[in-house]
A and B are shown apart, each in its own frame.
Chain A
Amino acid sequence: MKEQDPTVFIVDDDREVRLGLESLIRSVGLRAAIFASADEFMAAPRPDAPACLILDVRMPGQSGLDLQRELRGAGIHIPIVFLTGHGDIPMTVRAMKEGAMEFLTKPVRGQDLLDAVQKAIARDRTARQKRAELSELRARFDSLTPRETEVLNLVVAGLLNKQIADELGTSELTIKTHRAHVMEKTRADSLAHLVRMTETLKRSTAR
């Protein structure tokens, strides 16, 4: 699967700031999309590609912090680089708690912003990869039959085939067959690999 070019979204109510930031982003070869308000940004389609959002905290209508909360609520994971005229501490803390990537004070130096943007995109790329891997992993495990899932749970709990057979009231041979199917379907190289994958899935579900 070929990855699309990363996109930088810019939301700022000031036209000149917006255009300046866009120009700066494009000058380093990144794609930029500009919006005058949070609503405009929410209404626009977002390509399936690594991205980051440069967001002005203070805007008429919906503020940057409101937009951040809305995105989180909608399960949209996009790293946000905040820009603020005068960031007070409570505001910064709130934004960081909600998972802001950076909090930069206007006027921001071009290099600082580009660094923050590159970092954000890198993080988004990794996160997207992880999400993709995880969903692939989940697909593999979802393909197991209920019986196979039962066997899997007892295998990773450290039981031997004989014990599993006793537990489930069947023959050791049947268990061996189930177990081979599990290893094949989950593409596990070894028992240790299978345990790791199960742990990864558990952690992601728990989170």
Chain B
Amino acid sequence: MRAGDKQVRTTQRMKGTFISPDGSSGSRLGARITGALLRYIAAIAIVAAALWLSLALQAPFGNPFWFLFALAVISSTWLLGKGPGWAAVALSSAMGLYFFVPPYRGWTINLRDLPFFATFVSCQVITSWLISWRGDWEAALRHARDELEVRVEERTAELKAANDALLYRISEQKRAEEALQAARAELARVARITTVGELTASIAHEVNQPLAAVVANADACVAWLALPAPNLEEARAAANRAVEGATRASGVIARIRSLIHKAEPQRGPVQLNQLIDETIAIVSGQASRSQVAVHLELAPDLPEVPGDRIQLQQVILNLAVNGIEAMAPVSSRPRRLSIRSSFDRDRREVHVLVQDNGVGVGGDAMTRVFEPFFTTRTQGIGMGLPISRSIIEAHGGRLWVQSEVDRGSVFQFTLPAAEGRTA
């Protein structure tokens, strides 16, 4: 459509240059006819002026000034175009025959004067033809130049538009990427907090339990010492239990702090076995309450991986909690969560497997578990697995799932091992 428009515009411009030098391109038919008529009238007027001048000069001087007709033809052809030029040729030939070829003021011609008149007419014709040929040539040239200019202009505009679009798209994409990055960071944080939120009950219990032990034992210790005959043996035993409880409480708090700490990703060497141990300690309360036996099988030769400790812990936590929750409806078999780590020496990859014997997911759901906001649970926002996958992929690894309905799921991920260490 646009190309068609251009074609029309180019044609009109071409016609305008060719037929109406005044530049009234796209003029209507009437205006064009009027223009042509005016040019013919102008050509006649020029020839008439030449005739008048010739006759006026011939009267006092006697010489026939017929070459003024040549001037009329030249100027008509040059200024008014081909048609008026030929009209000037025809008219001036006729006037020459009538006024300047004997017998004067008559349409007849003597045989003797024929060569003279023929030469006169020939000169007129050749002059007009040369001039119009040159005019055509120039017009063609001008037209070609104009067309070229138009094309250049159009092409420039096209290129500029394309460039603008490209720049816009680039900035748009950049903005989108920034937004995506921000959203992902925020989601990771929210999910981390949500995960923590889901675990709050168990954490409160985890912290309170040792604290309750501390308080009860410390009270008991004081009571034994306050007796008229203090019982040091009982007091010491109670004090020891208070210390044990306090140590347990501080351990829980340290784990929670590292879990909910909002931090930018920090890359450092991470010992995955240790991380798995710590993470399992966090969910052990939930596991025992859900009657889930946690089984760890950690390769002793596991090299460190470069990565963000907290993010990787979140992945393990997500997978472990998912596994525990997937087993909640299962009552026909012992609930068992297995976590295995291993090292692939050839690929230099650390491999972690989290297996449950829970409800599992079917074909359609399995392809969707990594989609944001997809969840099979009534609680939960469905961000755990997508975020886990994006974290693993950001670390240069892969996270995938195999699952069978009513048999359980196996989540596995790999992470590239740290350089230069074979452990």
Which B209-231 residues have a C-beta within 8 angstroms of A? Answer: 209-224, 227, 231
A107 at the B interface (CB under 8 A): yes
Complex formed: what's the CA distance from A85 to B227 in Å?
30
Given contacts A60-B289, A106-B211, A106-B212, contact A16 B223 (CB under 8 A): no
Q: Which of A16, A83, A108 contacts B217 (CB 8 A)?
A: A16
Q: Mark A44-70, 1 if CB is under 8 A from B, else 0.
A: 000000000000001010000000000
Q: Contact between A16 and B220 (Cβ–Cβ < 8 Å)? A: no
> For residue A24, which residues in chain B have a CB less than 8 angstroms away from its CB?
216-217, 219-220, 223, 238
Chain B residues near A110: list those with CB within 8 A: 215-216, 218-220, 222-223
A23/B212 in contact, CB under 8 A: no
CA distance A17 to B241 in the complex (A): 9
- The reply on B208 being an interface residue by CB < 8 A is yes
Specify which of A16, A60, A107 is in contact with B241 (CB 8 Å cutoff): A16
Contact A19 B219 (CB under 8 A): no
Output the least CB separation between B335 and chain A (Å). 13
Please measure, in the bound complex, the distance between the C-alpha atom of A37 and the C-alpha atom of B80, giving whole angstroms: 118
Query: Is B96 part of the binding interface, using a Cβ–Cβ cutoff of 8 Å?
Result: no
Please measure, in the bound complex, the distance between the C-alpha atom of A16 and the C-alpha atom of B222, giving whole angstroms: 16
Interface residues of A in 23-50 (CB under 8 A from B): 23-24, 26-28
Q: B245: which A residues are within 8 A, CB to CB?
A: 16-17, 20
Distance in Å: Cβ of B222 to nearest Cβ of chain A: 7
Q: How far does the alpha carbon of A160 sit from the alpha carbon of B146 in the complex, in Å?
A: 140
- Encoded as 1 (CB less than 8 Å from any B CB) or 0, chain A from 100 to 124 comes to 0000001111110100000000000
Residues on the B chain within 8 Å of A130, using CB: none
B231-242 contact mask (Cβ, 8 Å, vs A): 1 or 0: 100100110011
If over half of B's interface residues share one DSSP class (helix, strand or loop), that class is named, otherwise mixed; here it is helix
The interface residues of chain B lying within 8 Å CB-to-CB of A16 are 210, 213, 217, 241, 244-245, 248
Check B111 for interface membership: any CB of A closer than 8 A: no
A106 to B204, CA, bound (A): 10
Closest-by-CB residue of B relative to A21 is B216
The distance in angstroms between the C-alpha atoms of A58 and B205, with both chains bound, is: 9
B201 within 8 A of A: yes
CB < 8 Å neighbour of A26 from B212, B234, B248, B291: B234
The reply on A187 being an interface residue by CB < 8 A is: no
Given contacts A21-B216, A108-B215, contact A27 B224 (CB under 8 A): yes
Please give, as numbers and ranges, the residues of chain A lying within 8 Å of B211 by CB-CB distance: 106-107
Shortest Cβ distance from B224 into A: residue: A27
- The residue that A17 contacts in the complex, of B204, B213, B288, with Cβ under 8 A, is B213
Q: Using CB atoms, name the residue of chain A closest to B205.
A: A85
Interface string of B286-302 (1 = CB under 8 A from A): 00110100000000000
Which A residue's beta carbon lies closest to that of B231? A27
> For residue A27, which residues in chain B have a CB less than 8 angstroms away from its CB?
220, 223-224, 227, 231, 234
For residue A106, which residues in chain B have a CB less than 8 angstroms away from its CB? Answer: 208-209, 211-212
Interchain nearest-CB distance for B350 vs A (Å): 34
Residue with the highest number of chain A CB atoms closer than 10 Å, among B220, B224, B245: B220
Q: Once the chains are docked, how many angstroms separate the CA of A60 from the CA of B222? A: 31
B contact residues around A162 at 8 Å (CB): none
In the assembled complex, how far is the CB of residue B217 from the closest CB belonging to chain A, in whole angstroms? 4
Interface centre among A19, A28, A106 (most CB of B within 10 A): A106
A14 interface hit (Cβ, 8 Å): yes
User: Quick check: A28 and B223 within 8 Å, CB to CB?
Assistant: yes
**Chain A residue nearest in CB terms to B248:** A16
Q: Which residue of chain A has its CB nearest to the CB of B206?
A: A85
Give 9 nearest A-B pairs by CB, closest first.
A110-B219, A20-B216, A27-B223, A23-B220, A20-B217, A16-B213, A107-B215, A24-B220, A106-B212
A interface list, Cβ under 8 A from B: 14, 16-17, 19-21, 23-24, 26-28, 58, 60, 83, 85-86, 106-111, 113
> Would you give 25 A-B contacts (Cβ < 8 Å), ordered by A?
A16-B244, A17-B209, A17-B212, A19-B241, A20-B212, A20-B214, A20-B215, A20-B217, A23-B223, A23-B234, A23-B238, A24-B216, A24-B219, A26-B234, A27-B231, A85-B205, A86-B201, A86-B204, A106-B208, A107-B214, A107-B215, A108-B216, A110-B219, A110-B222, A113-B219
